[in-house]
Structure 1
Amino acid sequence: MDGHLLIGVAAPVTLKIVDGIDDLGAPTPCAGWDVRALVNHLLHWSPALEGAARKEAVDPGPETDLTGGDWRAPLRTRIEATAAAWAAPGAWEGVTRMGGPMELPADLVGGMVLGELVLHGWDLARATGVEPHFDDVVLLRVYEEVARSAGMGREMGVYAAEVRVPASAPPLARALALSGRDPSWTP
């Protein structure tokens, strides 16, 4: 299944997880980040990721706390808008930028966006005690995308050192491990 179609399959699962968040102070599998920090990360970067789908460089600016008041509706809106932008087949073609001057293959950025939905969806699910149910086709593609960008992710400080899991582990566990997350993490 093409990436532009997988975005539409992954986003509703992440949105359902967002709806279940009840404690912004809960720890997440992302070292040093609680749920509030992760929600802020998603709110902060969504406009740049959405812009990248349209081949527009949107400078995300400095990260600030965006969780005052009603944060859930804006987060839902941003995830939906980002998913809709990347659901366009043309978003995955050519090159684009993620808020900076460096051009990247659009399909690489699209894969990163798919990974953001699933990996951060899993982070939020684990932090809130929910078991996410992403489609197997989505999880296999996320594993492939994380494998494709893991080296660059570590160089940029986005991914931690790989966690060892058996080669027979399911695609989600292997993607999590490649991104530096422990698939068995619990709060």
Structure 2
Amino acid sequence: MAARLPLDLDPPVRQLRALLLGVGDRELTAPTPCPGWSVATLLDHLISLAEAFTQAARKGADASGDGPPAPPSAGHLPPHWRSRLPVLLEELATAWQEPAAWRGAARAGGVTMPARELGAVAANELVMHGWDLARATGQDFAADPRVLATLIDFLAAGPPGGTPGFLGPRVRLDPEEDTDLARALSLAGRDPRWRPPRRDVPPAQRHREQPPAARPA
């Protein structure tokens, strides 16, 4: 009988891969729920975290070295990200399907911790950044309920004020917003109500889009 894993990273990876198909070139400069990050910056971060957490699962060398990873940058996003990122995400999910990935200690982002906790961090990154990408590009998002349940327990154990570089301060929810996804988002320091700012239409385009005035009979 196969050993049961603490978490299955395949559902959030599959959803992220599907969301990537909905990212056009025009969306790369769009803002995301991550302050100061464009979609291109978020994609660059996803490439780095996929590589780092795959190495962590394999108990390999920390891709970021001994210190924290370099800040993500839209300028660093490779031109072939559409073909590269889905493969990296699939390798990440596959690496954490091995029971050995969850044993002992593991290291990513210059931080060493129990592998079970680091696997939960990886799941949180995938879910939260999947939601970030969906909101920024106007796509639907629905997280796996089993993954959400684990993340809620994991995030609830953290400090309410957040963890610098990882989680922001918790966001207060209204009673009608209290779903599992909203709860996980708020515990991770995200506002479930976030929407991208409306882009102003240039005056010339607004003029073109106005219907012609009705002529008097």
Report the TM-score, using the length of structure 1 for normalisation. Answer: 0.88
Residue in 2 that maps onto 1:56: 60
Asked whether the 8 Å contact 1:26–1:35 carries over to 2, the reply is yes
Asked whether the 8 Å contact 1:140–1:172 carries over to 2, the reply is no
Corresponding residue SS for 1:104: strand
Residue in 2 that maps onto 1:160: 168
Asked whether the 8 Å contact 2:32–2:39 carries over to 1, the reply is yes
Higher relative CO (Cα under 8 Å, sequence separation at least 6) belongs to 1
Q: Distance in 2 between matches of 1:139 and 1:41?
A: 22
Q: Distance in 2 between matches of 1:17 and 1:143?
A: 23
Structure 2 counterpart of 1:57, one-letter code: A
The one of 1, 6, 30 equivalent to 1:3 is: 6
- How many residues are paired up? 184
Unaligned runs of 5+ in 2: 197-217
Structure 2 counterpart of 1:3, one-letter code: P
Q: Deviations over 1:48-99 (max 9, x none)?
A: 1111101123233535533242211111111111111112122111111114
Corresponding residue SS for 2:162: helix
Corresponding residue SS for 1:180: coil
Unaligned runs of 5+ in 1: none
Q: Distance in 1 between matches of 2:78 and 2:112?
A: 34
Per residue, is there more helix in 1 or in 2? 1
Using the aligned pairs only, state the percent identity: 38
Offset of 1:180 from its aligned partner? 1.1
Residue in 2 that maps onto 1:28: 32
Q: Distance in 2 between matches of 1:47 and 1:68?
A: 14
Q: Distance in 1 between matches of 2:160 and 2:41?
A: 23
Residue in 1 that maps onto 2:155: 146
Report the TM-score, using the length of structure 2 for normalisation. Answer: 0.77
Residue in 1 that maps onto 2:81: 71
RMSD between aligned alpha carbons? 2.1
The one of 122, 125, 128 equivalent to 2:131 is: 122
